[in-house]
A and B are shown apart, each in its own frame.
Chain A
Amino acid sequence: MALTTLNIQQRIQEKFGESVSAVVDSYGLLEITAPRELNLKVLNFLYDDAALQFQFLTDLTGVHYPSQKGSELAVVYHLHSLKENVRIRFKIFAPIEQPEVYTATGLFSAANWMERETYDFFGILFVGHPNLKRILNVDEMDYFPLRKEFPLEDQTRIDKDDEMFGRGGTIK
């Protein structure tokens, strides 16, 4: 029997009740949202459950939502059930003051570098990660460049006149 969205929703409701939500959000992809303490429990359940078998971690990344007070940072896992060829998205949220979530490296080896990248760009601290340090940016970088409060442009530059580049300056 093919695995349908309804099946997945039912299985999650049976296991976790109201604390974990599963709704079809955007692009027809089922989106599961859980409290951040439960992320490993949910991932383990999705991995081990005989009917689901989400055993392939396609992607892991972060998102910064500055307007969501108390849950500014999201960690997004894209999971793939190779047996059923079904994909889902799993999201957890963390406050920006204390961006700590449990690492998924124990479950997926692929999560190692992806979590380092997410730490590099969003500053999400993966508790239990074996080697949580910057992976793409220079080691001397002292901020997390994809958080929204940091402008994209290089701030160390002095030879560019902002007015000529259509940002800042006095000309509106």
Chain B
Amino acid sequence: MSRPVSYNLIQKPLEKDISVAPLPDGHQGEGFFATSLDSVIGMARKNSIWPLPFATSCCGIEFMATMGSHYDLARFGSERVGFSPRQCDLLMVMGTIAKKMGPVVRQVYLQMAEPRWVIAVGACASSGGIFDTYSVLQGIDQVVPVDVYVPGCPPRPEAIIDGVLRIQDLVGKESLRRRNGEEYKALLNSYGIQ
């Protein structure tokens, strides 16, 4: 028996033809708008994140659905998936990373330019998942620093979108000095990255 399909049950009137990112806090008057450089750059960066998918297994399939027209990550300014680490801002590691793949993930991370962010999608990338075995890396945070973990085995596209939105929050609020700070250098040093 075929499943009844219904969509667009709730008709939403189109409010605006073009959606615009909300203004950051600041002072506004006739012909001028004053705010901090941090928040302008944060707003620009967070709405134009270029993801680099590093997909090794089933979480990668969920990511493909996320990029597809149904879930459409492009709505959040991330439609430009890059396959060169040098052009990308967000490394999305999706799937089981074997110990032999660990150095590859690390090299891809090293090839990305600052500022860069990492999201670990799914149980395997976050913790090794069900593969508690001699050959599998027990979480990619053993080789690269991770900003956001998305749980699930595999996570649904909604969860991946939520993870990207958490990254957007981080990107939007990040201080411009963070990447030059001692704390950040200490973090990279703990991974042996200069």
- Chain A residues positioned under 8 Å from B135 (CB to CB): 136-137, 145
Find out whether the CB atom of B133 lies under 8 angstroms from the CB atom of A154: yes
Contacts A137-B100, A138-B99, A138-B100 hold; do A150 and B138 have CB atoms under 8 A apart? no
Find out whether the CB atom of B100 lies under 8 angstroms from the CB atom of A153: no
Find out whether the CB atom of A156 lies under 8 angstroms from the CB atom of B133: no
Find out whether the CB atom of B138 lies under 8 angstroms from the CB atom of A145: no
Q: Which of A141, A145, A150, A160 contacts B132 (CB 8 A)?
A: A160
Measured between alpha carbons, how far is A156 from B100 in the docked complex, in Å? 16
Interface of A is mostly: loop
Q: B42 at interface (Cβ–Cβ under 8 A)?
A: no
- Chain A residues positioned under 8 Å from B99 (CB to CB): 137-138
Find out whether the CB atom of B136 lies under 8 angstroms from the CB atom of A154: yes
Chain B residues touching A, range: 10 to 19
Q: A157 at interface (Cβ–Cβ under 8 A)?
A: yes
Q: How near does chain A come to B107, taking the closest CB pair, in angstroms?
A: 15
Q: How near does chain A come to B52, taking the closest CB pair, in angstroms?
A: 24
Interface of B is mostly: loop
Q: B95 at interface (Cβ–Cβ under 8 A)?
A: no
Return the chain A residue nearest B100 by Cβ. Answer: A138
Return the chain B residue nearest A165 by Cβ. Answer: B132
Q: A1 at interface (Cβ–Cβ under 8 A)?
A: no
For chain B residues 133-172, which have a beta carbon within 8 Å of chain A?
A: 133-136, 138
Q: How near does chain B come to A17, taking the closest CB pair, in angstroms?
A: 43
For chain A residues 146-167, which have a beta carbon within 8 Å of chain B?
A: 150, 152-157, 159-160, 165
| A 19-42 binary contact with B (CB < 8 Å = 1; else 0) | 000000000000000000000000
For chain A residues 115-164, which have a beta carbon within 8 Å of chain B?
A: 136-138, 141, 145, 150, 152-157, 159-160
Q: B122 at interface (Cβ–Cβ under 8 A)?
A: no
Find out whether the CB atom of A154 lies under 8 angstroms from the CB atom of B100: no
Return the chain B residue nearest A145 by Cβ. Answer: B134
Q: B128 at interface (Cβ–Cβ under 8 A)?
A: yes
- Chain B residues positioned under 8 Å from A152 (CB to CB): 132-134
Measured between alpha carbons, how far is A156 from B136 in the docked complex, in Å? 11
- Chain B residues positioned under 8 Å from A145 (CB to CB): 134-135
Find out whether the CB atom of A157 lies under 8 angstroms from the CB atom of B138: yes
- Chain A residues positioned under 8 Å from B132 (CB to CB): 152-154, 157, 160, 165
What is the interface of chain A, defined by CB distance below 8 A to chain B?
Answer: 136-138, 141, 145, 150, 152-157, 159-160, 165
In the A-B complex, list the 9 residue pairs whose CB atoms are closest, starting with the nearest.
A145-B134, A153-B132, A138-B99, A157-B138, A138-B100, A154-B138, A152-B133, A154-B132, A154-B134
